[in-house]
């Protein structure tokens, strides 16, 4: 093993030379740094490589599009850090009677109902079999004022034609009562009073159809409110209005939670450039199929240039979680789809329809899972039950036309009940029957209350992005939930006070402050009350609930500007989650996350994922792929080049022809075919690159080998009778190795960039996370459009590639510089 | 060259025929099903059977694998790429893969050759300057710039460029796949439309590639400048200009030009991906459409083959030019020093 000692000496020599080249040191330390990061990836981010696009739960408490933690250093503001609070204290006053809802042995339910018409309503309580247990008739009577007028069929449509910013509001308005006078109906747009509709009296119960056209200021979402809280509609006005979408399709891949959108033809009827907007909204519905919250997940603007132009538009999007989504293209094509990842569907459901047929296809409300559940679980013991409806005999339309029904379950028995309401219409025969409430009357029992108080110390200028509450437990049906935020100035804001779910058994609830319309409205009304009483600001001058920056308000100082631009209120905040219900058990795993205004080393993406965690795995996969290709290049290249150089003659000639043919093989088309039709896997990619990339190195190594083969000591070795294998291995390879390493080092960045590029082409490995995954997601979810919100998302993966690339290229260069003068000497 | 072409086509056909068997079977099944759903077929079972047989024959699925490979290779070599199986059509409404690709290919060639001409010329010029003053500030800056630029993916630079120039500064229109049409606009509008659209991708490609080019040129030229005959030429008083442009360039030209073309070929992939980022409706954009939106097997195949053709074509052009510039090499005998 004499040659090994020589090799060691050579290595030492190379290192000595290396020290003279600054650039080489920079390169090597960069590579070392990245390799260490890559090696530590499982420590920094365990499991992330497999869960990146699957496990939504892992990321859901994170802020969205939050800049990195060190963003504080480059901006003048302090940002609230991401804080997870896992410890809680019990609320000090357990006898707080506000929370008590159930009496021993009784359970009651309140329900607000809406009536479109006056007259008698019959309420029936039936059990699961349909037997009527209790019956009650209530007369709905008109009160005074605007309430005597009934607004129905409110429709808000963007006007078709030249101007994209006009809407047509139409509604049916009925006089309910003999108030023989003209009336006005207020119309509010986004909370501002816009108009008053004059309504002339033409007789009782005469319906008049009124429609008006309004011009709006800008492209936006508008809430139209006609009457006093009677009819609300939601419309998006602006871009896309005069654009006809001829064919629009969404393919949802439920396994990977991705959606592919394509619109084959978009025709612009307005002679101007405009953008057409595509949005994916996550929507939450209540039992009646009304949307209670919506959250825009993706938003992309498609520019349309010129007019009467037809073009193809495509996009692909990652959906963050299971649930119900609305895909809104322009303002006319809406598609709603429930995404459930559990189903192993081989072929993703493909739906497409045309804009013209949209009216017919209109959104169908999803079948209610609880229907089936309750039928299955229905109990047979209804005979033993005594039910009592407590309802007033007369109800006046006025107090938001509600009626309070108290239904009491006298026995200690679980019971499935349905409340039906029927309305006798004059002269129309059969009364209409309608299930208005479906409920589970729980077994009466011990009333349990849970008060968990979480403490958060807020010392910053920019508040947490949201409060994310996560708690689970077991309930026996119904329970009441109250969430209160106590602020350092002694005031408190109730975020939520609702009755939850007709659920039996385990529940797992997550509540976020940004996604719930009811929380927005609750907070808004409390602040509006304060502003009204303390500062005499009329409600008309305030923002509407959906335009309030909720975190800023929750963590802001009470002042005139509370709703608009409040100063941050620093100090200790207590968030109390109070649950009470019969048979309620809370699991000891509640946690509250005050998700930061900044997060992690590299921020988060629009799917709330920590970019740094994906990034370290990207470094790891990149280096593994590059390293493997480099190793095989050294191996194949050296073997091939040396054999060719050593034997010479026809062997050399033949191998050179072969190498030339190999050089002619293009990489990209082969990659496309294999990855597309076989397997989109990083290992397949590495294999193809390993098989194809050594050809260039082999050529360089051969030409160097030709020089070495002529050296006198090779001749000497030959004359001593060494075998050719021995000569190649022991005498020539150590001479050649630095060249091979230099060549291979230059390959690593090429491999990493190619791998990332494949993701953009759509051929990347979907099961892992690499820098390409990050960049492709950033590109396709429109991060390019918003520099301020997501610069970190695009910047860091690229910088990662640059660092690795710079490291390897400069190392390769340094090696070449060291060996080149040697070559000259010989 | 033909030999390489045939070999490559056979390799790719073999890969495709082996790997896409399942995909084709599914495709046939889906097509038959959709036809059954759409039309009012009387005897569904026999129709299914006949139609499946017919389609299987069209895709040669009834043949043994080696014959399939042969047929598919023959089709490709005669440029018979089949018809697209999805809604993808060419501008004139035909669904032939060749016509679809011919719609997109000229745009890629336009962008890429323009970029190639600019960055090669710029790269060689700057490289020569740097070689003349080896060790100067320009030289040092150039090697640093070349190294940095070539360690950045072209399309990532494209994303950053879009971020800065389109969305932050607003100097350029948003990238969109709509391409100006001559029949809709006047000639001047047409040309200016293309130029505005092309500016950013062009600048990006040039920015990323020219540093590396200049640096390679500089290295080759400095190598030549150390040769004895240059020293002799200088010693006998030949003016420096003539030394550089006459003596040195003559020797350095073959490797400079070949390496330029080779790096051009290597960057085709990157440029195709940049097209996607810039929504430049060329081959790369078409490829993503075919893969992502339509999953159109014939189109994907067609693009792969055409790209392969172009690559091989370019590779042999490089060989020819080498032979042309270097009198020692006979054309066709391969380019070796």
Q: Is the pLDDT of residue A540 over 70?
A: yes
C-alpha atoms less than 13 angstroms from C-alpha of A533 in its C-beta half-sphere: 6
Residue A696 contacts residue A743 (beta carbons within 8 Å): yes
pLDDT at A747: 87
Give me the tens of pLDDT residue by residue for chain B, a chain 337 residues long.
677 788 888 888 887 777 777 777 777 777 777 676 666 666 667 777 777 777 777 777 777 777 777 877 787 777 777 777 766 776 676 778 888 888 888 888 888 888 888 988 888 888 888 887 777 788 888 888 888 888 888 888 988 888 888 877 878 877 777 777 777 777 788 888 888 888 888 999 898 888 888 888 888 888 787 777 877 887 887 787 777 777 777 777 777 877 787 777 777 778 888 888 888 888 888 888 888 767 777 888 888 888 888 888 888 887 788 777 766 654 444 333 3
**Between residues A200 and B208, the one the model is more confident about:** B208
Distance CA B57, CA A316 (A): 34
Assign B162 to helix, strand or coil.
helix
The nearest CA of chain A is from the CA of B269 a distance in Å of 6
Distance CA A745, CA A813 (A): 9
**Pairwise CB contact (< 8 Å): A806 & B148:** yes
* Residue A360 DSSP class: H
**Between residues A639 and A157, the one the model is more confident about:** A639
Give φ, ψ of A277 to 5 degrees: -105, 135
Written as six digits, the tokens of A128 are: 């699961």
Assign A149 to helix, strand or coil.
strand
pLDDT at A299: 67
**Pairwise CB contact (< 8 Å): A260 & B151:** no
Which H or E element spans position A199? strand A192-199
**Between residues A149 and A230, the one the model is more confident about:** A149
**Between residues A241 and A526, the one the model is more confident about:** A526
- Given pLDDT bands bounded at 50, 70 and 90, which one contains residue A180? low
Q: Is the pLDDT of residue A370 over 60?
A: no
A735 CB contacts (<8 Å, ≥6 apart)?
A: A704, A708
Q: In what order do the strands lie in the sheet with A415-423?
A: A394-397, A132-142, A119-127, A415-423, A432-441
pLDDT at A408: 56
Instruction: Report percent pLDDT > 90 for chain A.
Output: 4
Q: Three-state secondary structure along A774-798?
A: HHHHHHHCCHHHCHHHHHHHHHHHH
Tell me the CA distances in angstroms from A798 to A159, A753, A808, B213, B274, one per residue in order: 46, 9, 15, 21, 14
Q: Is the pLDDT of residue A151 over 60?
A: yes
Identify the residue whose tokens are 């399709």: A249
**Between residues B204 and A342, the one the model is more confident about:** B204
pLDDT at A276: 66
pLDDT at A821: 55
The nearest CA of chain B is from the CA of A490 a distance in Å of 43
Q: Is A239 left (phi over 0), alpha (psi -120 to 50) or beta?
A: beta
pLDDT at A781: 72
On chain A, the residues whose CB falls within 8 A of the CB of B147 are 806, 809-810, 813
Q: Could you say which of B8, B163, B293 has the minimum Cβ distance to residue A262?
A: B293
The nearest CA of chain A is from the CA of B150 a distance in Å of 8
On chain B, the residues whose CB falls within 8 A of the CB of A749 are 150-151
Q: Could you say which of A262, A757, A809 has the minimum Cβ distance to residue B151?
A: A809
Rounded average pLDDT over A708-727? 77
Residue A812 contacts residue A743 (beta carbons within 8 Å): yes
**Interior/surface letters A527-547, b for 16+ CB within 10 angstroms, e for the rest:** bbebbeeeeebeeeebbbbbb
Q: Could you say which of B168, B266, B308 has the minimum Cβ distance to residue A787?
A: B168
Tens digits of residue pLDDT in A665-686? 888 888 888 888 888 889 999 9
Distance CA A782, CA A784 (A): 5
pLDDT at A647: 82
Q: Is the pLDDT of residue A521 over 50?
A: yes
* Residue A258 DSSP class: E
String of DSSP letters for A523-549: HHHHHHHHHHHHH---GGGSPPGGGS-
pLDDT at A694: 87
Rounded average pLDDT over A298-305? 65
**Pairwise CB contact (< 8 Å): A754 & B268:** no
- Given pLDDT bands bounded at 50, 70 and 90, which one contains residue A425? low
Residue B162 contacts residue B175 (beta carbons within 8 Å): yes
**Between residues A105 and A396, the one the model is more confident about:** A396
Of A104, A97, A99, nearest to A408 by C-alpha is A104
Distance CA B12, CA B308 (A): 9
Residue A708 contacts residue A714 (beta carbons within 8 Å): yes
Residue A659 contacts residue A695 (beta carbons within 8 Å): yes
Of A521, A483, A480, A470, nearest to A501 by C-alpha is A480
pLDDT at A73: 84
Residue A566 contacts residue A559 (beta carbons within 8 Å): yes
Q: How many CB atoms lie within 10 A of CB A806?
A: 22
Instruction: Report percent pLDDT > 70 for chain A.
Output: 61
Q: Could you say which of B150, B291, B315 has the minimum Cβ distance to residue A664?
A: B315
Cα Rg, chain B, nearest whole Å? 25
* Residue A289 DSSP class: S
Give the highest mean pLDDT range of A312-321, A387-396, A754-763. A754-763
Identify the residue whose tokens are 């690559």: B311
pLDDT at A128: 65
Of the listed ranges A138-142, A458-462, A754-758, B304-308, the least confidently predicted one is: A138-142
Of A348, A340, A337, A300, nearest to A321 by C-alpha is A340
Tens digits of residue pLDDT in A10-45? 777 767 777 777 777 888 888 889 899 888 888 888
Written as six digits, the tokens of B173 are: 């229109």
On chain A, the residues whose CB falls within 8 A of the CB of B284 are 761
pLDDT at A379: 34
**Between residues B162 and A418, the one the model is more confident about:** B162
Assign A155 to helix, strand or coil.
strand
Distance CA A191, CA A768 (A): 47
Rounded average pLDDT over A759-771? 85
Alpha helices, DSSP H only, in chain B?
2-19, 21-38, 44-58, 65-77, 97-132, 137-150, 154-161, 187-225, 228-235, 240-242, 249-266, 268-278, 283-288, 297-325
- Given pLDDT bands bounded at 50, 70 and 90, which one contains residue A631? very high
**Between residues A216 and A655, the one the model is more confident about:** A655
Of A224, A182, A228, A175, nearest to A203 by C-alpha is A175
Per DSSP, what are the bridge partners of residue A315?
A: A261
On chain A, the residues whose CB falls within 8 A of the CB of B303 are 669, 672
Size of chain B, expressed as the number of residues it contains: 337
Rounded average pLDDT over A623-643? 90
Q: Could you say which of B174, B266, B304 has the minimum Cβ distance to residue A672?
A: B304
Best probe of the A interface among B269, B277, B283, B313, by most A CBs < 10 A, is: B269
ipTM of the complex: 0.85
């Amino acid at each position: 093993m004499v040659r090994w000692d020589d090799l060691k000496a050579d290595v030492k020599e190379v290192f000595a030379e290396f020290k003279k080249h600054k650039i080489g040191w920079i390169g090597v330390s960069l590579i070392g740094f990245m390799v260490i990061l890559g090696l530590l990836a499982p420590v920094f981010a365990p499991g992330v490589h497999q869960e990146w696009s699957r496990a939504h739960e892992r990321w859901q408490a994170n802020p969205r599009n939050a800049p990195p933690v060190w963003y504080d250093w480059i901006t003048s503001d302090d940002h609230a850090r991401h804080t997870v609070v896992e410890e809680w204290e019990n609320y000090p006053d357990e006898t707080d009677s506000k929370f008590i809802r159930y009496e021993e042995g009784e359970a009651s339910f309140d329900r607000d109902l809406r009536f479109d018409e006056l007259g008698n309503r019959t309420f029936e309580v039936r059990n699961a079999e349909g037997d009527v247990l209790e019956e009650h008739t209530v007369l709905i009577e008109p009160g005074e004022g605007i309430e005597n007028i009934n607004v129905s069929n409110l429709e808000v449509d963007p006007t078709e034609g030249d101007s994209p910013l006009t809407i047509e509001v139409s509604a049916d308005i009925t006089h309910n009562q003999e108030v023989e006078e003209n009336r006005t109906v207020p119309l509010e747009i986004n909370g501002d009073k816009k108009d008053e509709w004059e309504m002339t009296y033409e007789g009782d119960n005469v319906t008049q159809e009124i429609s008006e056209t309004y011009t709006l200021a800008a492209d936006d979402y508008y809430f139209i409110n006609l009457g006093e809280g009677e009819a609300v509609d939601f419309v998006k006005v602006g871009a896309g209005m005069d654009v006809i979408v001829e064919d629009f399709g969404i393919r949802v891949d439920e396994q990977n939670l991705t959606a592919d959108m394509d619109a084959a033809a978009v025709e612009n009827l307005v002679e101007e450039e405009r953008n057409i907007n595509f949005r994916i909204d996550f929507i939450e519905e209540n039992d009646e199929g009304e949307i209670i919250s919506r959250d825009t997940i993706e938003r992309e603007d498609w520019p349309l240039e010129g007019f009467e132009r037809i073009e193809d538009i495509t996009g692909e999007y990652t959906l963050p979680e299971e649930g119900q989504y609305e895909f809104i293209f322009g303002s006319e094509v809406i598609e709603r789809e429930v995404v459930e990842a559990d189903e192993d569907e081989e072929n993703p459901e493909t739906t497409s329809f045309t804009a013209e047929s949209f009216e017919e296809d209109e959104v169908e409300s999803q079948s209610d899972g609880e229907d089936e559940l309750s039928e299955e679980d229905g109990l047979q013991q209804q005979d033993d039950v005594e039910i009592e409806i407590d309802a007033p005999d007369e109800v006046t339309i006025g107090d938001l036309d509600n009626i309070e029904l108290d239904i009491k379950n006298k026995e200690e028995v679980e019971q499935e009940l349905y409340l039906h309401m029927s309305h006798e219409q004059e002269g129309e025969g059969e009364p209409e029957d309608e299930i208005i409430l479906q409920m589970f009357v729980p077994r009466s029992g011990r009333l349990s209350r849970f008060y968990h108080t979480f403490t958060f110390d807020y010392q910053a200028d920019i508040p947490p992005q949201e409060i994310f509450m996560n708690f689970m437990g077991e309930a026996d049906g119904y329970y009441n939930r109250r969430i209160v935020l106590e602020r350092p100035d002694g005031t408190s804001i109730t975020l939520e006070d609702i009755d939850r779910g007709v659920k039996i058994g385990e529940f797992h609830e997550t509540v976020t402050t940004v996604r719930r319309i009811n929380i927005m409205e609750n907070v808004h009304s409390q602040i509006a009350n304060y502003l009204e009483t303390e500062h005499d600001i009329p409600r008309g001058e305030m923002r509407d609930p959906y335009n309030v920056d909720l975190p800023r308000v929750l963590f802001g100082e009470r002042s005139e500007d509370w709703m608009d631009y409040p100063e941050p209120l620093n100090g200790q905040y207590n968030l109390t989650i109070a649950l009470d219900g019969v048979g309620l058990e809370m699991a000891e795993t509640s946690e509250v996350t005050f998700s930061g205004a900044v997060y992690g080393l590299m921020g988060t993406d629009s799917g709330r994922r920590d970019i740094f965690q994906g990034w370290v795995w990207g470094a790891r996969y990149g280096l593994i792929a590059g390293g493997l290709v480099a190793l095989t290049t050294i191996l194949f290249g050296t073997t091939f080049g040396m054999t060719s150089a050593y034997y010479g003659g026809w062997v050399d000639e033949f191998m050179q022809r072969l190498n030339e043919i190999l050089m002619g093989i293009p990489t990209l088309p082969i990659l496309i075919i294999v990855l597309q039709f076989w397997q989109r896997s990083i290992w397949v990619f590495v294999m193809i690159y390993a098989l194809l990339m050594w050809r260039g190195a082999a050529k360089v190594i051969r030409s160097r080998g030709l020089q070495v083969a002529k050296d006198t000591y090779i001749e000497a070795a030959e004359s001593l009778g060494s075998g050719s294998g021995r000569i190649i291995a022991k005498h020539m390879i150590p001479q050649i190795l630095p060249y091979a390493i230099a060549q291979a080092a230059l390959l690593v960045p090429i491999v990493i960039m190619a791998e990332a590029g494949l993701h953009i082409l759509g051929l990347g490995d979907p099961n892992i996370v690499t820098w390409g995954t990050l960049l492709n997601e950033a590109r396709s979810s429109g991060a390019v459009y918003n520099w301020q919100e997501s610069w970190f998302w695009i910047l860091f993966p690229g910088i990662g590639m640059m660092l690795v690339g710079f490291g390897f290229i400069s190392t390769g260069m340094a090696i070449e510089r060291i060996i080149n003068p040697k070559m000259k000497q010989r | 060259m033909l030999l390489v072409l045939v070999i490559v086509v056979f390799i790719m056909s073999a890969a495709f025929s082996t790997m896409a068997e399942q995909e084709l079977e599914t495709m046939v099944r889906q097509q038959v099903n959709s036809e059954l759903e759409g039309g009012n077929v009387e005897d569904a079972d026999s129709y299914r059977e006949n139609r499946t047989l017919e389609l299987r024959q069209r895709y040669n699925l009834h043949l043994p694998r080696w014959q399939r490979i042969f047929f598919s290779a023959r089709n490709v070599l005669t440029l018979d790429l089949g018809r697209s199986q999805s809604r993808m059509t060419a501008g004139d409404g035909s669904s032939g893969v060749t016509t679809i690709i011919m719609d997109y290919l000229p745009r890629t060639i336009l962008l890429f050759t323009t970029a190639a001409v600019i960055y090669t010329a710029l790269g060689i010029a700057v490289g020569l300057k740097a070689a003349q003053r080896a060790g100067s500030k320009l030289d040092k800056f150039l090697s640093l710039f070349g190294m940095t630029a070539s360690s950045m993916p072209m399309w990532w630079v494209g994303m950053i460029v879009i971020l800065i120039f389109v969305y932050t500064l607003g100097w350029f229109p948003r990238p969109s796949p709509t391409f100006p049409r001559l029949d809709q606009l006047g000639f001047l509008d047409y040309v200016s439309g293309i130029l505005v659209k092309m500016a950013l991708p062009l600048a990006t490609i040039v920015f990323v590639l020219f540093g590396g080019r200049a640096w390679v040129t500089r290295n080759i030229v400095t190598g030549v400048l150390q040769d004895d005959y240059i020293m002799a030429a200088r010693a006998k008083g030949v003016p420096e200009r003539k030394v550089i442009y006459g003596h040195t360039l003559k020797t350095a030209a073959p490797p400079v030009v070949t390496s330029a073309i080779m790096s051009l070929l290597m960057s085709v992939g990157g440029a195709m991906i940049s097209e996607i980022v810039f929504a430049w409706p060329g081959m790369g954009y078409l490829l993503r459409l075919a893969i992502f939106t339509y999953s159109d097997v014939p189109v994907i195949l067609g693009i792969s083959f055409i790209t392969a053709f172009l690559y091989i074509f370019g590779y042999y052009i490089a060989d020819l030019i080498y032979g042309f510039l270097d009198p020692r090499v006979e054309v066709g005998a391969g380019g070796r020093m």
